[in-house]
């Protein structure tokens, strides 16, 4: 991943990461979901990455959504 992007969240739940990425996109925050979950053994995580300049607002939105 480019050095200008930072990981703001990771979870084993694809559904949760998808929901959070929808929240971020609705706030005009660019987001990339990087699925590192193994499809056969079902271990690993899905990571959400945003451009560095959006990291603080993204973390705030994620925390609000998880509260």
DSSP string, 7-30: EEEEES-HHHHHHHHHHHHHTT--
| pTM, entire model | 0.87
Percent of the chain with pLDDT over 90: 78
pLDDT in tens, 42-51: 788 999 999 9
Measured distance CA(60)–CA(15) in Å, rounded: 20
Domain ranges of the chain: 5-57
Structure tokens at 32: 């990339």
Which pLDDT value is given to residue 2? 76
pLDDT in tens, 2-16: 789 999 999 999 999
- Comparing CA positions, the residue from 52, 63, 7 lying closest to residue 33 is 7
């Amino acid at each position: 991943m480019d050095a200008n992007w930072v990981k703001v969240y990771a979870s084993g739940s694809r559904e949760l990461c998808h929901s959070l990425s929808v929240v971020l996109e609705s706030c005009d925050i660019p987001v990339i979901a990087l699925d590192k979950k193994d499809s056969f053994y079902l271990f690993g995580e899905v990571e959400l990455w945003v451009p560095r300049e959006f990291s603080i607002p993204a973390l705030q939105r994620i925390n609000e959504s998880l509260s």
